[in-house]
Amino acid sequence: MTTLDLHHLPENTITDRFWGRLPVDRAAALLPYSQGTPAQRLMWLLKYDNRPEVGVKLGAWLGQLIKHSFVFGEVDYVIPVPLHEKKLRTRGYNQAERVAAGIAEEIDAECLPFAVVRKQFTETQTRKSQFERMENVEAVFELARSPNSQGQTNQKSHFLTGKHILLVDDVMTTGATLEALGRAILPARPASFKVAVLALARF
């Protein structure tokens, strides 16, 4: 399979997508995503065929690339895009969390799957325009009261203050979901944002 080398570049196509929207200083992706590619098949297995181990293994592969990058820099916490509890019950696991767990183990960082909660159930982003994707995820995430709490709170949480945060998702197209996740974390004043995704799609 052809892998991407974005983890070697201080600025790349992912960081460019967040320009002026979220201060992402480094980014990595494992595979290019389009119809008929190995990445599409792997994402289908991960999300719809009850294969969470696919996420862990691919996450570990991506984590190895990040670990050996000379430019990616420090990561304290790995935060996956959270699922709404309704979808989590249906699927049985959060595919982004499985990816994040694989990455975190390789780079010796802590995975925080409940640092942010998804307070609204949203429609799938597939087939939506960039504007519709932004609108679909606007204000759906909220900082949790503690790193391991699944409960919601209106208080600003500061356990992320001054920390280097790696945001993780399985597939990225416009980056709308990851942007919304990062914006929910901004009030905690992290030191930096980085992004890692298994597959990167064109839009």
The confidence score (pLDDT) of residue 132 equals 47
170, two tokens: 């399985």
The confidence score (pLDDT) of residue 125 equals 45
Q: Domain total for the chain? A: 1
Given a cut of 70, whether residue 167 has pLDDT beyond it is yes
Instruction: State the average pLDDT for the chain.
Output: 88
Domain span holding position 131: 6-201
Global confidence as pTM: 0.88
C-alpha 133/C-alpha 136 separation (Å) is: 5
Given a cut of 60, whether residue 45 has pLDDT beyond it is yes
Amino acid at 64: Q
Q: Any idea what DSSP says for residue 18?
A: T
Given a cut of 90, whether residue 148 has pLDDT beyond it is no
Given a cut of 50, whether residue 160 has pLDDT beyond it is yes
H-state helical runs in 13-51: 13-17, 38-48
Centroid of chain to Cα 66: 14
User: Residue 16 — φ and ψ, nearest 5°?
Assistant: -65, -35
**Is 1 domain-assigned?**
no
The confidence score (pLDDT) of residue 180 equals 94
Amino acid at 67: K
CATH number of the domain encompassing residue 124:
3.40.50.2020
